[in-house]
Amino acid sequence: MITMVPELLILLGTTAIVQADLLPDKKFVLLPPANFTIKVTGLAQVLLRWEPNPDQEQRGVTLEYQVKINAPQEDDYETRSTASKCVTILHKGFSASVRTILWSNRSLLASSWVSAALEAPAGLPGTSIVNLTCSTNTAAVNYTHSRPYQVSLHCTWLVGQNAPEDTQYFLYYRYGSWTEECQEYSKDSLKRNTACWFPRTSISGKGREQLAVRVNGSSRLAAIQPFDRLFALHAIDRVNPPMDVTAEIEGTHLSVQWEKPVSAFPIHCFDYEVKIYNTRTGYFQTEKRTINTFISIIDDISKYSIQVRAAVSPACRVKGLWSEWSQPIYVGKDEQKPLTEWFLIVLMATICLILLTLSLVCRTGHLWTKLFPPVPEPKSSIKDLFVTINYEKAGSSETEIEVTSYVEEPGFDILKDSVV
Ligand SMILES: *[C@@H]1O[C@H](CO)[C@@H](O)[C@H](O)[C@H]1NC(C)=O
Ligand SMILES: *[C@@H]1O[C@H](CO)[C@@H](O)[C@H](O)[C@H]1NC(C)=O
Ligand SMILES: *[C@@H]1O[C@H](CO)[C@@H](O)[C@H](O)[C@H]1NC(C)=O
Ligand SMILES: *[C@@H]1O[C@H](CO)[C@@H](O)[C@H](O)[C@H]1NC(C)=O
Ligand SMILES: *[C@@H]1O[C@H](CO)[C@@H](O)[C@H](O)[C@H]1NC(C)=O
């Protein structure tokens, strides 16, 4: 509390000074801008425009404007221009306000606001698509082309719950000033478009601009709500895996090399992860690299599986997704001697055969007793019968024991031990 008091005093003091400064300017009134309009200039893109108020007194000061976006997403910025471009989804409508401002000795003078709005496009609720996802991928093209790389785009979505059966959807994307409609759709069982593929787009492989996608639709039974979505390229770019992965073992050194992925980004723009899997011990090792080689000391003679993946490094673009792992390559050799393996297999087969024969012999024994049961004496007592039953029981349990030992083959354990 004690420390707060001087601060409060200072604050009060500053306010007082500012007020005193403004006093001579009391008659200087700021008027709101004139003719504020919002115009759709492209897919998910609007232009806000206004004019300085013709009755505004200038007095040699530079007037500025404060723009406030109210919907669909709040935003607030200042500009000296009388126009402002805005990239935003438009299927929920759009509204913004603007006012004239003047910064005078770090205090703000402002006019009243003027506002304008765009209505949300008409449509039956629940008819717009849901779960729109898109991804991009870079491919190399023939060197005869002016651009050595081309970016493809793939999008999928789900049909709206309330969309009539005859609904058809159309996908458009805009990148920069280029807008294009999809030509290659995939359809659901009712022939409604639910995915789209652009083998080539105007998207730049190193681009930073947002990608705007719109899916609208038509039906004879209802107005279909459109759906817009903006994508940050780094978040949807499926980076290619590194190329030409090679590995070799020299003595105790395992060295791995690879080439950068097919990408418009130069070689210094990648982070890598190398995954080394020891096929004998099952041990994984994952290492991060910023260069195209990796050398490791190995103390274990074994076969190794090696995979590498890549991601564009934050030095060149906002961190995005890892690529898929490259196809595994194998290096080194298994210690296992095939001869021992064969010996074990033969041994196991022999054991099986012996067990099988034994159990067969046993069953034949039973059959014998069943076919030619000992002829009971005319005056056989209950005691005798009891003995016979007991004999049968003992016989069958013997067979069980044999079957059990057949399952518990010791050979498997030996093999397992030798593998580990
Ligand atoms: C701004 O403050 C400075 C000194 O603090 C003063 O000389 C000047 O007149 C002030 N200007 C206005 C426009 O209030
Ligand atoms: C505003 O628009 C009207 C009609 O288009 C026009 O006559 C007027 O000059 C405009 N005002 C300004 C300040 O540009
Ligand atoms: C669609 O998106 C919603 C909400 O994001 C999610 O709950 C649902 O599981 C998704 N449906 C499918 C089929 O992916
Ligand atoms: C390069 O272009 C030629 C002729 O247009 C075509 O035959 C060939 O398949 C192309 N190669 C690649 C890798 O696209
Ligand atoms: C869908 O949107 C595109 C681009 O905004 C537009 O050209 C087209 O007329 C729309 N189609 C329907 C059916 O609304």
- How far apart CA 249 and CA 257 sit, in angstroms, is 12
Asked if residues 46 and 91 have their Cβ atoms less than 8 Å apart, the reply is no
Alpha helix positions (H), 268-381: 338-371
| pLDDT on residue 94 | 97
Residue 403 has pLDDT above 50, yes or no: no
pLDDT at residue 389 above 70?
no
Question: Does ligand 5 come within 6 angstroms of the Cβ of 171?
Answer: no
Write the single-letter amino acid at 199: P
Residue 372 has pLDDT above 90, yes or no: no
Ligand 2 centroid distance, CA of 38 (Å):
15
Q: Looking at ligand 1, which atom is closest to the CA of residue 21?
A: 14
> Looking at residue 393, what DSSP letter applies?
H
Is the model more confident about 341 or about 42?
42
How confident is residue 26, by pLDDT bands cut at 50, 70 and 90? low
349 pLDDT more than 60: yes
Residue 374: pLDDT above 70?
A: no
pLDDT of residue 417: 38
Residue where the block lists tokens 């998207």: 203
Structure tokens at 302: 């074994």
Long-range interactions of 117-122: CB distance < 8 A, separation 24+: 117/38, 117/71, 117/93, 118/38, 118/40, 118/46, 118/90, 118/93, 118/94, 119/93, 120/91, 120/92, 120/93, 121/90, 121/91, 121/225, 121/226, 122/223, 122/225
Q: Ligand 5 within 6 A of 216 CB?
A: yes
Instruction: Report which ligand 1 atom has the smallest distance to the Cα of 24.
Output: 14
DSSP code, position 136 = E
Rg of the chain's alpha carbons, rounded to an integer?
A: 40
The preferred substitution site among 129, 130, 155 for testing ligand 3, maximizing ligand atoms within 8 Å of CB, is 130
Q: What φ, ψ does residue 156 adopt, rounded to 5°?
A: -135, 155
Average pLDDT over residues 342-357: 74
Tokens representing residue 76 in the block:
């607030």
Least confident span in 24-33, 223-232, 294-303 = 24-33
Query: Structure tokens of 15?
Result: 């306010």
Q: Three-state DSSP class for 365?
A: helix
Q: CA–CA separation, 74 vs 256, rounded Å?
A: 50
Centre of ligand 5 from the C-alpha of residue 115, in Å: 27
CA of 131 to the centre of ligand 3 (A): 6
C-alpha dist (Å) from residue 78 to 18, 99, 100, 111: 22, 10, 10, 14
Residue 166's SS3 state is: coil
Pocket test for ligand 1, best of 15, 21, 104 (most atoms within 8 A of CB): 21
Residues β-bridged to residue 249: 254
193-207 in b/e form (b: 16+ CB < 10 A) is bbbbebeebbbbbbb
Question: How many whole angstroms from 98 Cα to the centroid of ligand 1?
Answer: 27
The verdict on the CB of residue 131 being under 6 Å from ligand 3 is yes
219 touches 84 (CB < 8 A): no
Compute the mean pLDDT over every residue in the chain, rounded to the nearest whole number: 82
64 neighbors 103 (Cβ within 8 angstroms): yes
> How much is the pLDDT for 342?
63
Q: How far apart are CA 198 and CA 235, in angstroms?
A: 18
Quick: pLDDT tens for 124-149: 999 999 999 999 999 998 766 667 89
The answer to whether residue 348 scores a pLDDT higher than 90 is no
Cβ of 172 below 6 Å from ligand 5: yes
Quote the ligand 1 centre to 86 CA distance (angstroms).
35
The DSSP string of 135-157 is EEEEEE--TTSSSSEEEEEEEEE
Task: Assess whether the C-beta atom of 170 lies below 6 angstroms from ligand 5.
Answer: yes
Nearest CA to ligand 3 atom 5: 131
Mean pLDDT computed over 214-223: 96
Q: Which amino acid residue places its CA nearest to atom 5 of ligand 2?
A: 35
Indicate which atom in ligand 5 lies nearest the CA of residue 43.
5
Residue closest via CA to ligand 3's atom 12 equals 131
The gap from C-alpha 286 to its chain's centroid, in whole angstroms, comes to: 20
Which tokens is 392 given? 């049968």
